[in-house]
Amino acid sequence: MRQRSVVAAVAALVVVAAAVTLLVAQTGGRGPGGGDGSDRTGSPPPAAVVVDQRLPTADDLVGAGTVRALDGRRGWRIGRTDDNTTGSGTTSACQRSRFADPDGLAALVRTFRAPRTGSSVVQSVEVSRSARQAARAYRTVQQWYAGCRVARFQLLDAYRVDGVGDAASVLRMRIWTAPVTTVSVSVARTRSVMTSLVSTTVGARAPGPHRLTRSLATAVTRLCPRSGAPACVRKVTYRKVPPPAAGGERGMIAVADLPPVGRVDRPWVGTRTVRFRADRPTTSCERAEFFASGAVRARTRTYLIPAASLPAVFGLTTTYATFPTARGAVRFLARVRASVAGCEDRDLATQVGAERRPRGADASAWDLTTEVSPDRELRFRLGFVRVGRHVAQLTFTSSGTDDMSRTAFDALLVRAGDRLRELT
C-alpha cells in the first residue's frame, strides 16, 4: 500500500514496513501548502512528532521566485500544494497514472498559474523506497511524454542534463491546436528522490533549455537534504540528444514524433509493427529492395489518422532494415539515391523534386508526383536515413490539402535516424 506524506493542517502518521515505524510529513501548521510559497527553508517540526527527515515537506518545493526565473512574466500565483491523493491525480494529458512509482513512500505536488494567460507550472516530487525504484519512476515520466498520444501533439527535442542529481533531462513538446501550446518537462533523480517541473506555455514564447535546466537545478538543490546525497548540483551543462524511448518498439518512430498535417485535429495512430516480407519498392522510383541488397532483418509500420475523413491512400509508412555491416548499408543508400535520380527517365508519369540532404543525418529526401489518370495524381514525400548498419525509409502520401511541409518531413526523417540509434 502506497504511503503518502500529508501537507495539510493536521499531521498524519504513516505506517511503513521494515525500517521506518512512524513517518510524518507536516507543514509547520500553516495550513495546506505549508507556507506562502517563497523560496526559503521552513522551521523544524515540533519535537513531539516523530519525523522521517528523508520525506520532503512543502517548504522543500520551489516558490514563485523560481517560476518567475523560468518564465519572466509577472503575476504567477500558487494554486495548490498537496500529496496528490485526491481528484484525478493527473496534471497533464500525457500523464498516464497518478504516480510514476505506485509503491513510493511519499509525494508532493505544487501548481502555479499565470492569470489571464492559461500558462502553468507544476512541480511533482516522489520519494521511492530505493534508488532503483526511483530510477524506474524517472524513466516512466520520460515515457509518459515521449510517447504521448494527444491530437496534434509533437515531441520537439530532448536534452541531457549533467551536473544535476544522478540523472536529469529536459523534453520539449508542442500542441499545435490553437492556441499553440508548448509543454516542457524537466525531470531529475537524486538517489531515491525524483522531481519534475512541467511548464505549459500558451501562445507566448516558451522558455528555452537554459532556463529549464536552471530551474531544475534549483528544484534539486532544495530537495538535496532529503535525498541524503552530500551534493546534488555541480557544474551544470546540457546538450541536445535523441529523445528517450517512447515505450514502443525500438528503432521505430513514435506517434509523438509525427508532425501535424494540414488542419486535421485528430491524433495519429500506428498499426502494429510487423516483419517486413514483401521485398518490393513503395514507389517506382527508389527500387528499395532491402533483402535483395543484403539486409538480414526488416520491420515495418504504418501510421494513419482513422478518426479523420481522409482518402484511403493517405498515410505514412516507415520501414527499417538491418544490414550485416555499415558498408552494406552505405552501398544500399547509394543505389537508392542513384535510382531516384534516374526515375524521370524511366517513368514519364512521375516528376521528382530536387534531392534534399537534411542536416544532422546521413539522409536524403525527395518530393514525388505521379499522374495516375488525366485528372488524378498522387503526391509522395520519400526519404531514407542511415545510422551505422541500419537504414530507415519513410514514405508519406498526402491527400492534397492535408499535407506535411518539407521542413516537417525532413525533421521527421532526422528523428527516424534518432530512433535507429536505439538499435545500436
Ordered strands of the 167-175 beta sheet: 77-82, 106-113, 120-127, 193-202, 181-190, 167-175, 153-164, 233-241
Q: What grid cell was written down for 329?
A: 548499408
Same domain for 292 and 212:
no
Q: Is residue 8 part of a domain?
A: no
**CA gap 234, 330 in Å, rounded:** 42
| Domain contains 74 | yes
Tell me whether residue 22 is in a domain: no
Each residue of 109-165: pLDDT tens digit?
999 998 778 899 999 999 999 999 999 999 999 999 998 888 899 999 999 999 999
Are 233 and 194 contained in the same domain? yes
Domain tally, the chain:
2
Same domain, 285 and 410: yes
pLDDT at 54: 65
pLDDT digits (tens, 9 = 90+) for 330-380: 999 999 999 999 999 988 889 999 999 999 899 999 999 998 888 888 899
231 and 90 within one domain: yes
Interatomic CA distance for residues 261 and 259, integer angstroms: 6
In this prediction, residues 24-34 reach a mean pLDDT of 34
The conformation of residue 340, written as its DSSP 8-state character, comes to H
- What average pLDDT does the structure give for the chain? 85
Q: Indicate whether 366 belongs to any domain.
A: yes
* CATH label of the domain that carries residue 362: 3.40.1000.70
Same domain for 403 and 276, yes or no, is yes
Last residue of a domain, one of 180, 207, 241: 241
Q: 3-state class of 378 per DSSP?
A: strand
Residues 289 and 356 in one domain: yes
The identity of residue 151, as a single letter, is: A
Show which of 241, 270, 293 is a domain's final residue. Answer: 241
Looking at the structure, do residues 272 and 302 belong to the same domain, yes or no? yes
Evaluate whether 378 touches 369 at the Cβ level (below 8 Å): yes
Which domain range does residue 416 map to? 255-423
| Residue 198 and residue 334 in one domain | no
What pLDDT does 29 receive?
Answer: 31
- Identify whether residues 265 and 117 lie together within a single domain: no
Are 97 and 235 contained in the same domain? yes
Q: What distances in angstroms separate CA 48 from CA 10, 192, 242, 246, 420, one per listed residue? A: 14, 27, 51, 47, 58
Residues 6+ apart with CB under 8 A from 205: none
> Is position 127 within any domain?
yes
> pLDDT per residue over 391-414, tens digit each?
999 999 998 788 999 999 999 999
Query: Which pLDDT score, from 0 to 100, does residue 2 have?
Result: 45
In this structure, the answer to whether residues 196 and 275 fall within a common structural domain is no
Position 35 pLDDT exceeds 50: no
Residues 375 and 234 both lie in one domain: no
Kindly report, residue by residue over 255-305, the tens digit of the pLDDT. Answer: 999 999 988 988 999 999 999 987 776 777 888 889 999 999 999 999 999
Q: What is the pTM of this model?
A: 0.82
Task: Among 241, 267, 289, give the residue marking a domain's end.
Answer: 241
